[in-house]
Structure 1
């Protein structure tokens, strides 16, 4: 029978001690050096074991401070659904319909921003082509629960009343309605979720620790000709929200 990796055995041992309340909630665990000596393993093994327990939600890693028994927090459920997300990208309407919905948000748009290479590739434009970018910050029950950065090709909306997503006659109505008003029919939305660790900037905005788990969702919206009309990066702190994807079943 194959043996478990050493870090898994250490993680199991630490998990048992945490669940037995050897360390209280919010209490700092012994240093990696001390635990490495106790379990007769290398410090890298201890680090991997702690990373596993951080991923499992039992520990909090705090840069420059140590590792602590995590304080239990209620996670709100965010439902991503083809039936609910008809607005696609509106800060006010789409978020307000979600379970665990945001009850406050802030947005800031910039016009004539050159597209970075990665964004240009996602939008099917050339690097440096001008875009409208909008940054969103969402709150639920006073806690930051999501960040979003949206990009739209300026060539698509320049000179129209809907160039700014959260201003003008269709402010907050979402990509579908805004694009329809200028003769562009949205037909497809593609989302790519990826697990990641919070950067310093994300941690500051979300009120979490650097390196804590986040879910990053790369979303791109296409019109009926397959042309990308908007792409966005959403960042959701794992400790605050769980994301559920809901799909309908087509009838024969």
Structure 2
């Protein structure tokens, strides 16, 4: 059965956060992400829309409905600049706001007002790469189900536990964890003897970490800039990658 104009309109509407929240649906595109979605249970896949060549190669044995679309139809429902071969329509589960006890067992990443969906996706990849099991989005952080977040995460949103909340909730529930914050005036990260568990706080590139969250940070760390260089700051995801790598793998 061909895709209907109503379905095209509905899928296109999921570009807006309000519509994703109203219908509890989001889209993910590309063979790799769709294949990972089909292999897990946390995010139920409702329907697959794919070009004929993708359907011929990967459609056999699918347990979810598949609609073959034309390149023009895929272009109308895609949220990417250049459409991929396949798009999955998925259910959004409720994002838990309670804090799991597992936070106390390793490193977690707290994102304070990360407004860029692409940065959020990249930060999820960084957390996944360095073994951070939990990512907590603070107030002002972009929507996890924005298409740019999903694509930039390269599937890491499936492998990292994500929830929303205030930093104070973590520091109150787990006072034994050391909370590290990124700040230009902090300790040189390459000279810090880090513990084996804790929380790394990353703020937005403009205003940085909010005052409400700053009051919860115990240790400030920075990435030293090369002598005589004038760059004001690093991209939030780039900085998080360097800090996370050093906190997890640095000499203790």
Q: TM-score, normalised by structure 1?
A: 0.23
Structure 1 or 2: more strand by fraction: 1
Computing the radius of gyration over CA atoms, which structure comes out larger, 1 or 2? 1
Structure 1 or 2: more helix by fraction: 2
